[in-house]
Structure 1
Amino acid sequence: MARIALKVDVDTWRGTRLGVPALVDLFRAEGADATFLFSLGPDHTGRAVLRALRPGFLKKVARTSVLEHYGLRTLLYGMLLPGPDIGLREAPLLRSVRDAGFEVGVHCWDHVRWQDHLLREDDAWAAREMARAVKRFTEIFGCPPRVHGAAGWQFHDGAARAEAAQEIRSASDVRGTHPFVPVNAAGETLGPTQFPTTLPTLDELIGLDGADAGNVHTRLLERTAGQSQDQVFTLHAELEGQRLMPVLSRLMAGWVRQGHTLVALRTLEWAAHGMTLPRHTIVQQEVPGRSGRLAVQGPCIG
């Protein structure tokens, strides 16, 4: 059967304080490994209100009960309330995740800033944002990060070059089907090996085609039944670490019954070591259940 890597995106201060410890406890109880990717600067979640102008955003908000999952106070950070600095406030908690044996890495400096501005800015902007996050990670953990996963799957060639400049060893920044080396249209290597998110997230499925919190796990289990290909599943500390934790627990139990092993991204990296991986470009596409365009594994180049 397959290895399923659990990638935890931690977007907010609330998710860090409440969701991360709960997920650590769940994973330890179930014998599962996972990769935690942290937002390390200010929580400016409230500024995401500007996404209401994007096609499909309000529909997604209605389907996934954003206020219920994130809380009113979080939705005011960066607008009516100052954004708390997550890395400064929660450094001991972040180190405790590493000390519990889990892989830790960088999600971003400012989640909303990266997600809403990356594609409108130049490569130098991406390099500065990446450097800020890596510097804070190094201050907290005493060593540079090995792994990065882009906020909101917002990513492009310049961001891949920024990862390479910061000596990131592996990444999970895009949506796709299998590990690959990111290249540009000319075939030039851009950054570290990508281990893309291969499965839909719970919030992409809930509210569509009759899926709800009571049955959504079965939709994912249908996709992985009898499969031997490794997968990457992205979850969020704000969702599966809180109100959707019972759903995650049922999903994990189902994967174990199917014979799959729940691992961290580093396990997939070790498995790929020495392999000649395909070379793909990165393109921007819409993904069902998400608003806007995301970075997606593109065509194979040579």
Structure 2
Amino acid sequence: MRLALKIDVDTLRGTREGVPRLIDALQRHGAGATFLFSLGPDHTGRAIKRVFRRGFLGKVSRTSVLAHYGLKTLLYGTLLPGPDIGRCAAAAMRAARDAGFEVGIHCYNHVLWQDGVNRGDAAWTERQMRLACKAFEQVFGVAAHTHGAAGWQINAHALELEARLGFRYCSDTRGRGPFLPLVNGNTIACPQLPTTLPTLDELIGLQAITVDTVADHLLGLTRTPPPGGHVYTLHAELEGMKLMPVLERLLDGWRSQGYELVSLGQLFATLCLDALPVHEVVPGKVPGRTGTVAMQAPRPLTPPALLSESPLRPGPCAFERRG
């Protein structure tokens, strides 16, 4: 019974303030985790353009964006210049690694990736990913071996590129359990460990769920563990700050349910790769989140017994986020 904690770090504030608090909380609970960092400019303020998307204003009001991110962060990239997170907060990033936690890439420019990847061509996608890889190496001195796409937004160019960039496994998608992504009939040799549980910002304010009840709701979803384990995505700007009490309740609750709290790498190490199902990556809706996200298709396309005959190589682009 393993539950992997995947920590998305979106902003400079989240890196400087949320990450140290999370390190402390995770160590006190004996929990493993994977920190995925945004490594380039913090342009959080430019996300204001999403105000025109259906449901965005409702999500903002439900999740108290100003309270969690702070006014200064919400002005970065508009009225204030966007600071380079990798340069300004490299010490905080290395502190996570030095504390024994797995580290990887979230993105280079969070807003640019999340808003642009659905229409990005191969050249645009490769440039963004290589910028992130270079920034990661400048911070940590080694190449990254895992990636988790900002906002669960990914295109087929990126899925192909992940194997070529040397990533051992990634967590770019939402789904039910580990799988190999299929693009135009070709199996990509980089397993996906999808997020299997809803996030706090998706739950709070929906169906009468409050900050006080959201932990119990999530714990109800994890009473029965899936065969491939769970992946829970938290955010340095939420659980690492004002929602830390919720995280503490979750960590205690998952321990009581018998889960080992691990990193993505520790979950990956338990998998039998030859037995992983193969799924397409398709756009899908998640309750409480605007737009669409990259999702594990409902049905596997290749029986596990035939995986040894499948070409583990990147193929032409097939998937684009719609909506």
Structure-2-length-normalised TM-score? 0.91
Q: Identity across aligned pairs (percent)?
A: 54
Which residue pairs with 2:142 in the alignment?
143
The one-letter amino acid paired with 1:206 is I
Q: What CA deviation, in whole Å up to 9, does each residue of 1:210-239 have, x standing for no partner?
A: 111111001111111133531000000000
Shift of 1:191: 4.7
The one-letter amino acid paired with 1:223 is L
Distance of 1:278 and 1:100 partners within structure 2: 34
> Is 1:206–2:213 an aligned residue pair?
no
User: In the comparison of the two structures, how many residue pairs are matched?
Assistant: 300
Long gaps (5+) in structure 2: 303-323
The one-letter amino acid paired with 2:212 is G
Select which of 224, 227, 234 maps to 2:225. 227
Distance of 1:283 and 1:143 partners within structure 2: 32
The one-letter amino acid paired with 2:201 is D
- Residues 1-302 of structure 1: pairs in structure 2 closer than 5 A: 2-186=1-185, 188-229=186-227, 230-298=229-297, 299-302=299-302
Long gaps (5+) in structure 1: none
Specify whether residues 59 and 253 from structure 1 end up closer, same or farther in structure 2 by C-alpha distance, changes over 3 A only: same
Shift of 1:300: 1.7
Following TM superposition, where does structure 1 have runs of at least 4 consecutive aligned residues deviating by more than 6 angstroms?
none
Distance of 2:101 and 2:244 partners within structure 1: 18
The one-letter amino acid paired with 2:209 is A
Shift of 1:185: 3.7
Shift of 1:93: 1.6
The one-letter amino acid paired with 2:138 is E
The one-letter amino acid paired with 1:214 is D
Give yes or no for contact 1:160–1:191 (8 Å, CA) kept in 2. Answer: no
The one-letter amino acid paired with 1:194 is Q
Give yes or no for contact 1:226–1:258 (8 Å, CA) kept in 2. Answer: no
Q: What CA deviation, in whole Å up to 9, does each residue of 1:243-291 have, x standing for no partner?
A: 0000010011111111111110001110014442101110011111100
The one-letter amino acid paired with 1:215 is T
Distance of 1:87 and 1:206 partners within structure 2: 31
The one-letter amino acid paired with 1:168 is F
Distance of 2:180 and 2:272 partners within structure 1: 12
Specify whether residues 119 and 274 from structure 1 end up closer, same or farther in structure 2 by C-alpha distance, changes over 3 A only: closer
Shift of 1:163: 1.2
The secondary structure found in structure 2 opposite 1:84 is: coil
Distance of 1:226 and 1:113 partners within structure 2: 38
Give yes or no for contact 1:157–1:190 (8 Å, CA) kept in 2. Answer: no
Query: Which deviates more, 10-19 or 137-146?
Result: 137-146
Which residue pairs with 2:308 in the alignment?
none
The secondary structure found in structure 2 opposite 1:272 is: coil
The one-letter amino acid paired with 2:67 is E
The secondary structure found in structure 2 opposite 1:196 is: coil
Specify whether residues 21 and 30 from structure 1 end up closer, same or farther in structure 2 by C-alpha distance, changes over 3 A only: same
Q: What CA deviation, in whole Å up to 9, does each residue of 1:154-195 have, x standing for no partner?
A: 012111112122111110000000100011142x02351000
Shift of 1:121: 1.4
The secondary structure found in structure 2 opposite 1:119 is: coil
The one-letter amino acid paired with 1:235 is L
The one-letter amino acid paired with 2:208 is G
The secondary structure found in structure 1 opposite 2:66 is: helix
Give yes or no for contact 1:39–1:106 (8 Å, CA) kept in 2. Answer: yes
